[in-house]
Chains A and B, each alone.
Chain A
Amino acid sequence: MTSSVQRTDAIIIGAGPCGLFAVFELGLLGLSAHVIDILDKPGGQCAELYPEKPIYDIPAWPIISGQELTDRLMEQIAPFSPALHLGEMADSLTRTPEGQWRIATDNGTVIEAPVIVIAAGGGSFVPKKPALANIESYEGESVFYSVRRIEAFRGKRVVIAGGGDSALDWTLNLQPVAERVVLIHHRDGFRAAPHSVSRMKELAAAGEIDFLVGKLNGLNGSAPHLSGVTITTARGIEELSADRFLAFFGLTMKLGPIADFGLDLAENLIPVDTEKFETSVPGIFAIGDINHYPGKLKLILSGFHEAALMSQAAFRICRPNEKLRFQYTTSSTQLQQRLKVA
């Protein structure tokens, strides 16, 4: 167990813009970082909720999309080679006998560091569930909100609900594997890539899959084993035989396990001071949308500032015997070496 523990200076929870920029500010001070995010890609809300939408209040970027901002930040932090643990949720936080913080993820990753930086925004992204009676009792066996193992769908009758890229992509990907795939969406219009939609329609026209416009009514079968999905279409109420039901209705944010980290919370926000952005627990910092202090503005640029000041305090914890020198990237050879430009 001990041999598999990874060690670093700071563990950052959340790979949104503030978490990513924290890697940069810590890196300038010579501190290493690991970043954990429940999404399978960096960018947080910028990448998940509004990748295409323009942002107008990032300094020196008159207009930039959420995805482009994420890409630029990834480029900016590349010199510091942060370890990214994507698709993992920071599950527990404990203190080791040696006085380190230990984070374990739901995927079994264990990391120890003297500093924790919570940059979790609105919390963990978790799937939205359709409002169907007893849906929870089928989860894990017959009902899923993502595909972790394609094998679990081999030879099965699969009903997929949704109208975005995930619903379309998995309809196309599971079609060759499953016995039958039925896609159901409440309208004949999609938010997915046009080529996926055309491909799906081709398969439906060829009889390789079924596409139905309709609404979900309920799940049938002796839980956790699904036997069918009841839907309402223009033809009326019907039952689709099914062994697996996949719902892709987007994600919502929940604070999640952070609520159990032993920190003071105020209305699901973490109060911090404005010198170090430290929480009620020394060594644990909170930056970005998840923190609160008098005058707080939930802006990306505020989070960037918070990351810079937090890093100063983190340095004093991680390097108690070293002097913290304030330097500019324009003139400091040391900083330029860390940025791998000198």
Chain B
Amino acid sequence: MKIKVVDHSGAEHELEALPGWRVMEIIRDWELPIKAECGGSCACATCHVYVDEEWLPLLPEKSGEELDQLEVLADLKPNSRLSCQVLMSEELDGLRVALAPASLP
């Protein structure tokens, strides 16, 4: 199972992923630059990513907490998600996301 992550400089990385892991945790585990200061509590929006359009329908619905966090972001786009709120599963194998400015440590 893999995910593709485009870092802040535009370079793409293919990362081995594990089912049940949060996408934020995978990115952090592979030591790409992601601030994720609240550690996955949906309380900070510093794991903000842009998700490739084709994958959006497969992602879980945004919770109210996630919507509130996203709302404050200056770089909000329609494909914005918090990567701590996306758990890896078989159907997300190949998921491609780009790190947003707010996730820079």
Q: Among the listed A130, A164, A252, which residue makes an inter-chain contact with B44, where contact means beta carbons less than 8 Å apart?
A: A252
In the complex, chain B residues whose CB is within 8 Å of the CB of A45: 38
Residue from B43, B44, B68, B73 in contact with A163 in the complex, judged by beta carbons closer than 8 Å: B68
How big is chain A's contact interface, by range? 20 to 34
Report A-chain residues with C-beta under 8 Å of the C-beta of B67.
Answer: 186-187, 189
Within 8 A of B (CB), among A175-200: 186-187, 189, 191
The reply to whether A186 and B41 form a contact with Cβ atoms under 8 Å apart is: no
| Distance in angstroms between the alpha carbons of A130 and B43 in the assembled complex | 16
Q: Which of A254-301 contact B (CB under 8 A)?
A: 267-268
Which chain A residues border B71 with CB–CB below 8 Å?
186, 215, 249
Residues of A contacting B74 in the complex (Cβ-Cβ under 8 angstroms)? 131
Please tell me if A16 contacts chain B, counting CB pairs below 8 Å: no
Q: How large is the interface on B (under 10, 10 to 19, 20 to 34, 35 or more residues)?
A: 10 to 19
Q: Which residues of A are found within 8 Å of B105, using beta-carbon distances?
A: 267-268
Question: Contact between B73 and A49 (Cβ–Cβ < 8 Å)?
Answer: no
A191–B65 touching, CB < 8 Å: yes
Please give, as numbers and ranges, the residues of chain B lying within 8 Å of A49 by CB-CB distance.
Answer: 38-39, 41, 43-44
Q: Looking at B46, B72, B105, which has the most chain A CB atoms within 10 Å of its CB?
A: B72
Q: Closest CB of chain B to A297's CB: distance in Å?
A: 13
List residues of chain A with CB under 8 Å of any chain B CB. 45, 49-50, 53, 122, 128, 130-131, 163-164, 186-187, 189, 191, 215, 249-250, 252-253, 267-268
Q: Show 14 residue pairs from A and B whose CB-CB distance is below 8 angstroms, ordered by the A residue.
A: A49-B39, A50-B38, A50-B39, A50-B41, A50-B43, A130-B72, A186-B68, A215-B71, A249-B72, A250-B44, A252-B44, A252-B46, A267-B105, A268-B105
